[in-house]
Amino acid sequence: MTLPIAITMGDPAGIGPEIIAKAFRDAPDLTAGCFVAGDVATLRRAAGLVQEGEGASLPVAVLDTANDAWRAPPRSIPVLQIVESTPLVPFGLVNAAAGKIAGDSVFWAARAALRGEVAAVVTAPLHKEALSAAGDPYARFPGHTELLQAEAAAQLGRPLQEVPVRMMLANDELRTVLVSIHLSLLDAIGKVTVGNILQTLRITHESVGAALQRPPRIGVAGLNPHAGEGGLFGREEIEVIAPAIAAARAEGIDAQGPFAPDTVFMRARATPGRLGEFDVVVAMYHDQGLIPVKYLGVEQGVNVTLGLPFVRTSPDHGTAFDIAGSGRADAASLLAAIRMARRLLP
């Protein structure tokens, strides 16, 4: 790898800057060649917070270019100032200025990745309400995934629908990919169509297969209890999900199901000494797929955006406003996200 990895700062009112500081302090080998796209003053505050707890010096290395990350001293925080300098925002509060800073960091990193200036993007958590409060263009996007998709489509000169992306949440035990992401449950059910499921299976087959270096075994969750129980509890499995699986299998994709949602994740889970029955589960909506992975341990979960023309990973937790500024945030999920980004690079 010759290009650096950009880590976006996340919402400065949350735990993003703190876990970034801890990552550079605790894992100098893993974070070598990484840098923070954000605000120097905010990262200095985070460094001070971490130093107070540990008593060790953690300097901030101010970069002129992204490539200077390779020359940053170990156990320092390399920061490229890519947002306008503003007064520090208070911890733990929804703030439009914080939403703008977080959004600008992601916009910059996405464009840098699309220009080929960084190898991958790792995003610290942003707060969706703060992002919306920042107004246009930030309020157009309910989260990272949609923002990154829009930037990729604009760079490629294609309509949004021609750059389909999907969210995958993964840890060492389970991977799950979602048919729909940030929608109301009612709207998410409306997205359970043959076309959307087939598209999800294609993206999963290509992206997870590239990471595994072999075709993945895909288990598909049903929508209804007991996967509809032969039509007794709903006919989506019969009329929508099964035809999508059949179409995928006709294309050579190893997809099986639909299976009862309350058991398919257990079947796919890999444990010490036992390989899961599936490499990945395709879930029909956000919480159906994310709850099982997060229950196994938020500290090891990684959010991966599949379908982008660059690698993007993220911790699977949020801004944790309730503990922001306390020094108690755990950097394990961010470290897992950096590790995953390196693993996914070609």
Domain residue extents for the chain: 1-161+309-346, 172-296
The chain-wide mean pLDDT, for the chain, equals 93
CATH topology of 1-161+309-346 equal to that of 172-296? yes
Distance between CA atoms of residues 314 and 302, nearest Å: 6
pLDDT (0 to 100) of residue 151? 94
Distance between CA atoms of residues 4 and 119, nearest Å: 6
Distance between CA atoms of residues 214 and 206, nearest Å: 10
Distance between CA atoms of residues 7 and 152, nearest Å: 18
126 CB-near residues (< 8 Å, 6+ apart): 10, 11, 14, 16, 99, 102, 103, 106, 143, 144, 319
Who has greater pLDDT, 346 or 140? 140
Confidence of residue 1 (pLDDT cuts 50, 70, 90): low
Q: Read off the amino acid at residue 74.
A: P
Confidence of residue 266 (pLDDT cuts 50, 70, 90): very high
Q: Read off the amino acid at residue 28.
A: P
Q: Where are the alpha helices (DSSP H) in the chain?
A: 16-26, 28-31, 40-54, 96-114, 128-133, 144-156, 185-190, 194-212, 236, 242-250, 261-268, 286-295, 332-344
Confidence of residue 233 (pLDDT cuts 50, 70, 90): very high
Q: How far is CA 103 from the centre of its chain?
A: 15
C-alpha dihedral sign at 172, 183, 320, 343: positive
pLDDT (0 to 100) of residue 133? 96
pLDDT (0 to 100) of residue 296? 84
What architecture is the 172-296 domain classified under in CATH? 3-Layer(aba) Sandwich (3.40)
pLDDT (0 to 100) of residue 56? 66
Q: What is the pLDDT of residues 83-116, one digit of tens each?
A: 988 899 999 999 999 999 999 999 999 999 999 9
Q: Using an 8 Å Cβ cutoff, are 191 and 184 in contact? A: no
pLDDT (0 to 100) of residue 271? 86
**Residue 1 CB-density burial (10 A; 0-12 exposed, 13-18 middle, 19+ buried):** exposed
Confidence of residue 346 (pLDDT cuts 50, 70, 90): confident
Q: What is the pLDDT of residues 247-258, one digit of tens each?
A: 999 999 999 999
Distance between CA atoms of residues 66 and 71, nearest Å: 10
pLDDT(298) > 70: no
* β pairing state of 5-8 and 120-123: parallel
**What percent of the chain has pLDDT above 90?**
84
b/e sequence 273-302, b meaning 16+ C-beta within 10 Å: eeebbbbbbbbbbbebbbebbeebebbbbb
Q: Using an 8 Å Cβ cutoff, are 87 and 59 in contact? A: no
Q: Using an 8 Å Cβ cutoff, are 156 and 39 in contact? A: no
Q: 127: number of CA atoms within 13 Å, CB side?
A: 26
pLDDT(142) > 90: no
User: Has domain 1-161+309-346 been given CATH number 3.40.718.10?
Assistant: yes
| Neighbouring C-beta atoms of residue 16, cutoff 10 Å | 32
* β pairing state of 166-170 and 175-178: antiparallel
Q: What is the pLDDT of residues 161-193, one digit of tens each?
A: 899 999 999 988 999 999 998 889 999 999 999
pLDDT (0 to 100) of residue 53? 52
Token couple for 224 = 């209804």
Could you give the angle at which helices 194-212 and 242-250 cross, rounded to 10 degrees? Answer: 50
The CA radius of gyration of the chain, in Å to the nearest whole number, is 20
pTM of the full structure: 0.88
pLDDT(55) > 60: no
pLDDT (0 to 100) of residue 78? 97
| Neighbouring C-beta atoms of residue 262, cutoff 10 Å | 14
Cα–Cα separations (whole angstroms), residue 10 to 108, 109, 191: 12, 12, 29
Q: What are phi and psi of 44, to 5 degrees?
A: -65, -40
